[in-house]
Amino acid sequence: MNDWKIKIGVVCFFMFLVAFHGCTTGPAPQAGVSTNTNEGERIASIARTLIGTPYRFGGDSVDGFDCSGLVRYVHTQIGIKVPRSSRMLYQQSKKIPLDKLQAGDLLFFKISDKKVSHVAIYLQNGHFIHAPSASKSVSTANLDSRYWSQRLIGAGRFW
């Protein structure tokens, strides 16, 4: 009789451990789904707080940003080191198909003769945040606009 009670006790103990373990680990990641969406959402959230900050050529602080300075500043806030220029950001980022964009991804544009001359941070639903140009401030724009859609050349990610 005592052996039976010990076996039941051991089984109950292991069931408790399994149940406790399942409660603390969360669901298993699904195949093909990024487990880092929080980083992307944090990037987008930080970028939103900077709307209205003035544009400043070469700027990479809350005193003023250019496009790549904004991207670098926001990524640095969550501990991700990224290159400083839009061209280097484009070259070194992990390429993301446009139909797989997530908040925090980077959008690359050809504005001038250079292949990549502008970078922005994707929010969601076709909207992004960027530091557009002199005399303007950090603001949102829409990929559906003719201007931006004709100049978009790709997307990338560092998180």
> How are beta strands 118-124 and 127-130 bridged, if at all?
antiparallel
> Which of 12, 21, 23, 118 is flagged as catalytic?
118
Among 140, 108, 142, CA closest to 125? 142
Residue owning tokens 């980077």: 106
CA distance 28 to 55: 43
130 is catalytic: yes
127 is catalytic: no
23 is catalytic: no
> Which of 21, 23, 67, 127 is flagged as catalytic?
67
Active site residues: 67, 118, 130
